[in-house]
Each structure stands twice: as C-alpha cells, then as structure tokens.
Structure 1
C-alpha cells in the first residue's frame, strides 16, 4: 500500500549515506522512526532487526508472514520477533512491497546459483560478518544472523511456488519508513550483488534517516 510520510529529511536527528556494498549498524529506540531511502533506484537493502536487550530475539519472517497473512511487506505491516513480539510497524512506503523470502546473498549461494568463480565476490553475509566483528558492543554473533528482509527487492512467487529475482519496482527517491515498537538494533547490508537484477546489475547507495518522534 503506497503511503507517503509527512516527516521532513531536514528534521531527522540522524542521516547516514550507506555506499553500495557497505553496511549500517545502529540502535533504534522505541518511538523512533527509521527511513531507508533508495537513492538512485533499483537497490536492495538486506536488513536484520534484533531486540536491543537480547540479540537472540530477532526478526522472524515466519511469525511476521503468519500474523499478517501476506508474504510481502508494505505500509501497515508489523514486523515480529522470534517470540512473536511486535518490533516495528511500517508507517510509510512509496515503493509498494518488499520481499521476505529471497534471503541474502552469500559466497555459498553465489557459487550454487551462478558459478564457482563467483564464490569470492562480496556478499551481504560478508557485510554482516564485518559489521558484527567491528562492533562487538552490540552483542550480535554469527549464530544470530538469520532470515532477513529485502527492502525494495522484487521477488515474485511463481504459480508453482518458486521464487524468481526480477527487476526492481523501486525508483530514485522511493523509501520505506518504520517506527520502532521496542528498542531494536538495525543491521543493513546495502546489497553488492552483481549477478541478478535485484540491484539493476549496478549497486548504488541508500540513505538511512532517523527521527526521534
């Protein structure tokens, strides 16, 4: 559901540009609002959420999909944790839908899907591993890296029940905005994938904005 936000970028308490292939890691307190903005269009932002108090409680695709009865996310969707606790609510969305099923690229999946020579290409999992290694203060370990949301990514479900990676439905300046319902840690990999059209074969920056109210 397309829903625009009344929040102004110049009133954000924090603005961070995340280059293609880089990561964002930060805390979002209950009541704060996070916007992920697709700066140049057709760029996937692979995102994980954790309870700020206990990293073993994290975003759950299964609980979120079951409770909302939809595999896609958009305005009105409530993101739920592995304890079925509401974590965040999407309050604005100018893209239309976001993927919960496609997962994140990794050296293993690049090898299986594309070619043995692709094994050493940078992946979202690499970005997450780097983020948690460089920021141990968040208490996130390798075993805490689970299923993610692919904001802006277009992964249609086929009639046979399979998944396909298609051209994005986002565009320059499109955004998704969510308000935290509990204190959370946000971990984003700005996807470096070059082998399928999720980034238009040309990864580009995203911007992360935070408002206190």
Structure 2
C-alpha cells in the first residue's frame, strides 16, 4: 500500500538555496531548525540516500530503528518523524508527492556490490564512498555511517519480513519536503547503483531546495 501524498504550498521563488546534484554525487548542508529541505527527483526513478547528524553533537544521529519503532510503520511517509538515537525528533516529512520511501535496505557499498552482484562490480562507485567523502568535511569518518534513509526507493516488505529493491514509482518532478526540528547536518548520496532497479539502471541528477521558516 502506497502512503497518502500531499503537495506543498511553498513558493520556489522564495527558496534561499537551489542546487542540482549530478548523478552519482554527494551533497551536504547544515540545516537550521525550522528550515525545510525539498529533494526533487528530477528525471524519475532515482534513489536518494540520506543521513542526519545533530549539528551541536554529531554523536546524536538519525536512527532507523527508533524512527520505525516510534511510527509503528515500515516506511518513511508523509507525517513521519525522523528520530535520533537519543529519542529526539530531528525532522518531519511535511510534504510528499511520491508516497514511498525506505529506511530498511541501507546503502550500497563496494563490498556489498561484490557480494551481491559479483567481484567485477567491487570497484564501482557506491553510496558508502559518497558518505565517507562528504562526512570528512565535518570531521566524521566511515565509523559514523549508520543505517540510512532512501528517499524514492521502493522496497516492499512481505508479511514474513523479506524485502527486496524493485522498480521505483517516483515520476519526474516528484519531491519530498523535510522540515527540521533541530540544527542538523543533512548528508545526501545521489545513489550511483546500476545493478538493482532502484535507479531504473540509469542514475540521474536530482535537485535540492531550502526554505527558511518564514519564507514560503
């Protein structure tokens, strides 16, 4: 079942930041409490991996386990509160024109590529490497990578708990709005995966936009 969707009244002309993230590349920004980040799937069927860290204390970071347990739901959807490993709400999903986002399947890595798709794929670029590159800007390392969000990624979960990545449902221009409840480092990997259907076997650019609390 796909979650209910809701469009946003935000005026793109009032955005304080607009950035296009090329296919396969990372991005990050320190977002202030009350600011809203919009992630736009520019061409459709593009998975966007993400991590959040408290700006004041990066040891506090997004927790998949606490988020899904608190919501009592298996997916990230409209109204979901993104919860930290200290039980605090870091951000909320305040608009969503897609209706399906994952927080169970994790991020791709060179090692997992080799195990799942064969040794020849080991040296393909992966989200874990993107996260390492971007986290280094904040004094963080690969040890700080935790289970992440996967915006627009379609990972149906069966009643017996089995799940797999299938074709995405996100259309060109679909977006999700994340409104911050604390100052946080928001890290994105525009997923480079080509071995499963999360990107339609063709990684493409995405766009991000940021609004201040009183500018929408």
TM score, norm. by length of structure 1:
0.97
Pick the aligned partner of 2:96 from 93, 97, 101.
93
Deviations 1:10-62 (A, max 9, x none): 21000110011101111100000000000000000000000001111100000
1: CA distance, partners of 2:76 / 2:84: 15
2: CA distance, partners of 1:140 / 1:210: 24
Count of aligned positions: 210
Pick the aligned partner of 1:44 from 47, 56, 67.
47
SS across alignment from 1:72: coil
Q: Does 1:53 align with 2:56?
A: yes
**Runs of 4+ with >6 A deviation:** none
Deviations 1:79-107 (A, max 9, x none): 00000100001000000020010100001
Offset of 1:140 from its aligned partner? Answer: 2.1
2: CA distance, partners of 1:68 / 1:97: 15
TM score, norm. by length of structure 2:
0.95
SS across alignment from 2:167: coil
CA RMSD of aligned residues (A): 0.8
Offset of 1:141 from its aligned partner? Answer: 2.3
Offset of 1:160 from its aligned partner? Answer: 2.9
Contact residue 55 and residue 139 of structure 1 kept, 8 A: no
SS across alignment from 2:182: coil
1:30-179 to structure 2, matched below 5 A, reads 30-133=33-136, 135=137, 138-179=138-179
SS across alignment from 1:117: helix
Any unmatched runs of 5+ in structure 1? none
